[in-house]
Amino acid sequence: MAKDKKLVEAITSMDTDFAQWYTDVVKKAELIDYSSVKGCMVIKPAGYAIWENIQKELDRRFKETGVENVYMPMFIPESLLQKEKDHVEGFAPEVAWVTHGGLNPLQERMCVRPTSETLFCDFYANDIQSYRDLPKCYNQWCSVVRWEKETRPFLRSREFLWQEGHTAHATAEEAEERTIQMLNLYADFCEEVLAMPVIRGKKTDKEKFAGAEATYTIEALMHDGKALQSGTSHNFGDGFAKAFGIQYTDRDNKLQYVHQTSWGMTTRLIGAIIMVHGDDSGLVLPPRVAPLQVMVIPIQQHKEGVLERAEELKAMLAKAGIRVRLDDSEKSPGWKFSEQEMRGIPIRVELGPKDIEAGKCVLVRRDTREKIECTLDKVTETVEELLDNIQHAMYTRAKAHLESHISDVKSYAEFQDAVENKPGFIRAMWCGSEECEIKIKEDTTATSRCMPMKEEEAVADVCVCCGKPAHKLVYWGKAY
RNA sequence: CGAUGCGUGGCUCAGCUUGGUAGAGCGCUGCGUUCGGGACGCAGAGGUCGCAGGUUCAAAUCCUGUCGCAUCGACCA
């Protein structure tokens, strides 16, 4: 009993306090530490390794579509930031300024990039001359700074890691095509690799990116029923091109403006993984992003031959390309079990003298805690199969959670009731006016998340807020 | 930016009301016994009490100021 109690105290239960649970998991799984700079975090090896896996997989997928990586400066002169009006207005409140170089004040202050549209545009203005230079499909991996007031590990920090893709195209059609292509790439990535189902949709004008013509988003649903914007893809049309003078000469020797896109994903995804898959014992990582897929835990490791057999087992799994480690520390097995669970490692392999004698081992899957006996000669294939099962089971579970947390509402009363009592997405019709959007937000704190791209049947024919005719279906919800 | 809370060994905190020169649990180090759900014994190391002033013979404790962090709201990936 005393032992159980200790376990329970380690991580706050989700149902008791979801926010505290999140913080506990982040720390117990050793993903981050708070730093002495407010709102900035130290990403520890366990957290950074997840990001590296995300990077590796995304980067590969980007390159398959013809994207190349570049690196831009981290400083933006004020004059450059101000070239596109909506863009500055959107970002000015949250940029950090550099005013001095060494001891001397700068002629012009510079902000630390909150995003690099302006830098890419400035560069493209010179780099693009002819239709032969198009399209340009560049991406950069970097960190950006936004001086947030309220910060939370991974979900909102003052500095965060991300990738930002910036493309320039000859035609509006091509730009739109790229915008959608990247949105789908993001969605597929989330579903296939992170086992996280998402709603693909378009943002309303109110919610779109500062300076964009259209913003597309993928919205995921967290365990507590709140939405998390998990990736965005913007079509800029020729707005930035006109502000920055990005023109090319077409085949007919006429000057044309380019059409641009940008798209990004951030370390926030790690927050999403935690809140979609985690449980009261800690993190649960989908095998495909898990830095460690298997932890081998020897029982009575001091006994003759146990560690040797465990090493062999580890080597065998490693040889098959499985990311595996042996926990041969002096901790007790129970400690190691808890540790492996908090860290979300998908499979634990227990190996003790009894197993060795019987020529088997015990596999325990993290997602269901199911224990599986397995003969030692079949470990590799069983583990491979199990990793695959876990990946799919996690997706299926998350998908079921998403689908069972979507409410259709027709009236404003129903809407308010749903916001209060039915955590999750709310599907409701909207007339298209910003007033209704604002009113809904003020009344309920729910915001419009997106208008789904997939054809979906209308819930009603009038706006849920004002009652005027409406044909836009919107997913609403409380969001992080 | 508003509200709230918190700053004392690595962590969580007690001590402050009533001033007298710093404690506990966990963690850490060493040795030994343990090992199938956070084991135990013994011996140790580790703190100018967030910072700066002030009051006092004497300040973690009282006074003034200041800084930082966390949580919750408004804004945002």
Query: DSSP letter string over A162-190?
Result: EEEEEEEESSHHHHHHHHHHHHHHHHHHH
A362 touches strand B (CB under 7 A): yes
pLDDT value of position A388: 98
Global ipTM: 0.85
- Smallest CA-to-CA distance from A219 within A246, A186, A241 is with A186
| Nucleotide closest to A22 measured between CA and C1' | B71
For A77-121, the pLDDT digits (tens) are: 999 999 988 888 888 888 888 888 887 888 998 999 999 999 999
Which secondary-structure segment (H or E) carries A326? strand A324-326
Contact call for residues A212 and A234 (beta carbons, < 8 A)? yes
Q: Contact A154/A271 with Cβ under 8 angstroms?
A: yes
Q: Which of A466, A460, A456 is nearest to A428 (CA)?
A: A460
- Cα atoms in the 13 Å half-sphere on the side-chain side of A381: 3
- The spacing between the Cα labelled CA in A5 and the C1' in B60, in angstroms, equals 33
Question: CB–CB of A139/A164 below 8 Å?
Answer: yes
- Sheet with A324-326, strands from edge to edge, namely A324-326, A294-298, A347-351, A360-365, A371-375
pTM (2 d.p.): 0.95
User: Is residue A167's beta carbon less than 7 angstroms from any atom in nucleic acid strand B?
Assistant: no
**Residue A163, CB, strand B, below 7 Å:** no
Do A361 and A355 meet the contact criterion of CB atoms below 8 Å apart? yes
Contacts of A33 (CB under 8 A, 6+ apart): A27, A41, A42, A44
For residue A6, what pLDDT is reported?
44
The end-to-end CA distance of chain A, in Å, is 37
Give the C-alpha separation, A214 to A475, whole Å.
17
Q: pLDDT value at position A335?
A: 93
For chain A, residues with pLDDT lower than 70 are 1-9
For tokens 């799984």, the residue is A29
Type of residue numbered A202: K
Which nucleotide is nearest, taking the CA of residue A301 and each C1'?
A: B35
What is the structure's pLDDT at A12?
Answer: 82
Tokens 């390309």 -> residue: A321
Strand B and chain A: which residues 376-435 have CB closer than 7 Å?
A: none
Tell me the CA distances in angstroms from A10 to A4, A5, A25, A27, A413, one per residue in order.
10, 9, 9, 10, 41
List the nucleotides on chain B closer than 7 A to a protein CB: 1-2, 34-39, 68-77
pLDDT 10s digits, A128-161: 999 999 999 999 999 999 988 888 899 998 899 9
Residue A146 CB lies within 7 Å of the nucleic strand B: yes
pLDDT at A3: 36
Residue position matching structure tokens 């309220």? A150
> For A469 and B56, how far is CA from C1' in angstroms?
78
